[in-house]
Amino acid sequence: MITYLVTGAAGFIGSNFVKYITSKYGNDIKVIVLDALTYAGNINSIKEELELPNVSFVKGDIKDYCVVKEIFDDNDIDFVVNFAAESHVDRSIENPKLFLETNILGTQNLLNCAREAWADGKDDTGKPAYKKGKKYLQISTDEVYGSLEKDFDEAQPLHVDDELKQVIEGRHNLTTFGKKFFTEETPLSPRSPYSASKTSADMIAMAYHHTYNFPVNITRCSNNYGPYHFPEKLIPLVIHNILNGKKLPVYGKGLNVRDWLYVEDHCKAIDLVLRKGKIGEVYNIGGFNEESNINIVKLIIDTIARIMREEPKYQSLLNCNLEDINYDLITYVTDRPGHDMRYAIDPTKIATQLGWYPETPFTVGIEKTIRWNLDNQQWIDDVTSGDYQKYYEQMYGNR
């Protein structure tokens, strides 16, 4: 039996991860979720999992020593997976301090409590030793590497070497907007308060590994998309606005490029790194899906319009006319200060060493995401109306 402490699992990626591991491992695992339920945390996203006997929820802050220590005192935690963070770049520009507190001090508190709980004397070389099988995984971001040049205006074919080609045989016609990619060796060069706080968290996690011999992995992923994504981020926001006939705000000219990773592919990678990743290593996790923001918005418009025409039952969800779903909805807004031009991850290390690759091509993942949004309007309505914040009271208020 492996016991997980999953922080921030009422958020987007963490909730998908809890779904993934509970469905994959069933009763062979125990999961404790720790989440402060900030505006980004929606306990309803993991409602079904919380009904399982082997999944429990603690409302609390990762910065709170007493809360985290009590979890370690009461449970023999094997894996800590730290998703908890302030994660929205725009909000970090408005309020950097909160990001430094949660993302840096919260990470350090988790590392500290895990180190205390897992300490097990010294090894043969005199270094601190830890109980067997324990691991702390810090979920980080490609944004720690800074920004890459965009060398091409339109996507060009991406050529990968033969070793990588063998692993990713299910993916064809890969494209890129540039010649350079982030590898695990790329120097860290964060440019927003958000990415600076995530970089600091990575560095303190690695410092625990080097100083205390502490069992750490770091994963750095590109932009995730998929079910349970809070509609302040680009893809769910665009879907929501299209259904409601609202304008689609695009920063600058929409030419910034991101690499998009389907969230389930990400969860599979995290699972692999936890079980097979070499202690002390960083793994980059990318989607092989580079795309400019403007092309993404156009793809979503085209896909929703097509689904509505092919499956008229969904037209009842529209608060606009079907004919109005077109590129005229796009509106260009003043760019974000310091907006990074391009992120592109090279996932060769995790592919060749652990056998993982991002299985989901962007057109497939986007259609799945749109369909999830269409089929889960109640979740979206609750989030956009703020009602999701009542769920905790309903589920746990009287316990």
Q: Which chain residues interact with ligand NAD by CB under 6 A?
A: 7-8, 10-14, 35-38, 40-41, 61-63, 83-87, 102, 106, 139, 141, 198, 221, 223-224, 230
Cα dihedral across residues 222, 223, 229, 230: positive or negative: positive
Tokens of 221: 């992923």
Enumerate residues 6+ apart whose C-beta is below 8 A from 275: none
Whether 171 and 359 have beta carbons less than 8 Å apart is answered as yes
Task: Pick the closest to residue 285 from 139, 84, 166 (CA basis).
Answer: 139
Least distance CB 64 / ligand NAD (angstroms): 8
- Indicate the residue among 43 and 329 with the shorter CB distance to ligand NAD: 43
Two tokens, residue 27: 């009763």
Cβ distance to ligand NAD smaller for residue 11 or 365:
11
* Structural tokens at position 26: 């069933």
Nearest-approach distance from CB 15 to ligand NAD, in angstroms: 8
- To ligand NAD, the closest distance from the beta carbon of 34 in angstroms equals 6
Residue 207 contacts residue 128 (beta carbons within 8 Å) = no
Q: Which residue is nearest to ligand NAD (CB)?
A: 11
Q: Which is nearer to ligand NAD, 150 or 258 (CB)?
A: 258
> Which pair of structure tokens corresponds to residue 95?
């309020």
Q: Which is nearer to ligand NAD, 141 or 289 (CB)?
A: 141
How is residue 274 written in tokens?
Answer: 């936890």
Q: Tell me how far, at minimum, the Cβ of 202 lies from ligand NAD, in Å.
A: 10
- Angle, CA of 260, 264 and 267, to the nearest 5°: 100
CB of 21 to ligand NAD, least distance (A): 15
| Spatial contact of 238 and 319, defined as CB atoms under 8 Å apart | no
Compare residues 106 and 178 and give the one whose CB is closer to ligand NAD: 106
Identity of the residue numbered 152: F
Provide, rounded to whole angstroms, the least separation between the CB of residue 223 and ligand NAD: 4
- Residue 18 Cβ, how far from ligand NAD at the closest point, in Å? 11
Contacts of 90 (CB under 8 A, 6+ apart): 336
Residues annotated as part of the active site? 142-143, 194
DSSP at 140: E
Integer Cα distance of 54 and 320 in angstroms: 44
Copy the structure tokens of residue 8.
Answer: 């921030």
> For residues 222 and 303, which CB has a smaller minimum distance to ligand NAD in the complex?
222
- Least CB distance from residue 105 to ligand NAD, whole Å? 9
254 with 297: CB under 8 angstroms? yes
Rounded Cα–Cα distance for residues 150 and 256 (Å)? 8
Residue closer to ligand NAD (CB basis): 35 or 291: 35
On whether the CB atoms of residues 81 and 29 are closer than 8 A, the answer is: no
* C-alpha–C-alpha distance, residues 198 and 176, integer Å: 26
- In the chain, the amino acid numbered 330 is I
Q: Which is nearer to ligand NAD, 38 or 377 (CB)?
A: 38
Give CA separation, 57 vs 54, 110, 201, in Å. 10, 17, 24
